[in-house]
Structure 1
Amino acid sequence: MVLEIDEIKKILPHRAPFLLVDRIIEIDPFKSATGIKNVTYNEPQFRGHFPHQAIMPGVLILEAMAQVGGIAMLYPEENRGKIALFGGMDNIKFKKPVVPGDQLVMKAELMKVHGDYGRLHAESFVDGVFAAQGDFTFALQQPANE
């Protein structure tokens, strides 16, 4: 199943410039998802990171990977409208800089889910080359304004 940006916006609460997933190309709800982020020079972070050698900040790569995992968790109707909050990150590794023009392919797998809490492992690749990975703990909550 493929999810385009309009469907992703129905699942994730993020909006530009912090919606960092352009398309979901595979999803197995409550288990895994694979998503794509097309990296372009027009994104605001490249004005300062770094102006003469643009590199996608590692923290945004981690956020993008976590958003793909969030889609796997928030896709089912019973979780729609909730937000996923970070509880922690472990085993973070960066192996390849991500630059404008790259297509970041992110794979997230839910390792453990207990109620509204869970842990996921995510990896990202550019042209099939490993770029980054991380393990994330999260908690699902209703937004504060509800």
Structure 2
Amino acid sequence: MMKAKEIMEVIPHRQPMLLIDTIEELTPGEHGIGKKCVSYNEPYFAGHFPQEPVMPGVLMIEALAQVGAVVMLSCPEYKGKTAYFGAINQAKFKRKVVPGDVLMLEVEMIKKKGPIGIGKAVAMVEGEVAVSAELTFAIG
């Protein structure tokens, strides 16, 4: 398991943009599972939405991408590099994510060619899909 300190050694994200708390499982270059404990203290809840706090979908996608970046950048050949979005395809939002939820973030790399990888990404709360997408990563 990786905690925030170890995650920050792999990806460049810092607060408030570091959106994963732990990496629960990791097979470098292949698969990863991360966790985000969603708290009322998240800065975006002040405006999204004050009367009904909901985690923005774009931030759920970003959290999945950060798990994917850890998967890719944990490979020795990519150490010290940065993973960028190449594409977001087939994103589907199925459930609201609210304070108190634990968002489980899973990314499985389904295609790789050189520094480009495509990952199947799914975020779940209590076994229920919140968002799914196909994410393309470019290592730079």
TM-score, normalized by length of structure 2? 0.97
Q: How much does 1:72 deviate?
A: 0.6
Structure 2 residue 11 is the aligned partner of structure 1 residue 12: yes
After superposition, residues 1-146 of structure 1 pair within 5 angstroms as 2-141=1-140
Range moving further from structure 2, 72-81 or 125-134: 72-81
- Partner Cα distance (2:47, 2:80) in 1: 33
Q: Secondary structure at the match of 1:10?
A: helix
Q: Which runs of 5+ in 2 are unaligned?
A: none
- Partner Cα distance (1:9, 1:89) in 2: 23
- Partner Cα distance (2:104, 2:137) in 1: 21
Q: How much does 1:137 deviate?
A: 1.0
TM-score, normalized by length of structure 1? 0.93
Q: Secondary structure at the match of 1:135?
A: strand
Runs of 4+ in 1 over 4 A off after TM superposition: none
Count of residue correspondences: 140
- Partner Cα distance (2:106, 2:58) in 1: 17
- Partner Cα distance (1:70, 1:32) in 2: 11
Q: How much does 1:81 deviate?
A: 1.4
Q: Secondary structure at the match of 1:90?
A: strand
Measured on the aligned residues, the alpha-carbon RMSD in Å equals: 0.7
Q: How much does 1:77 deviate?
A: 2.7
Amino acid at match of 2:38: V
Q: Which runs of 5+ in 1 are unaligned?
A: 142-146
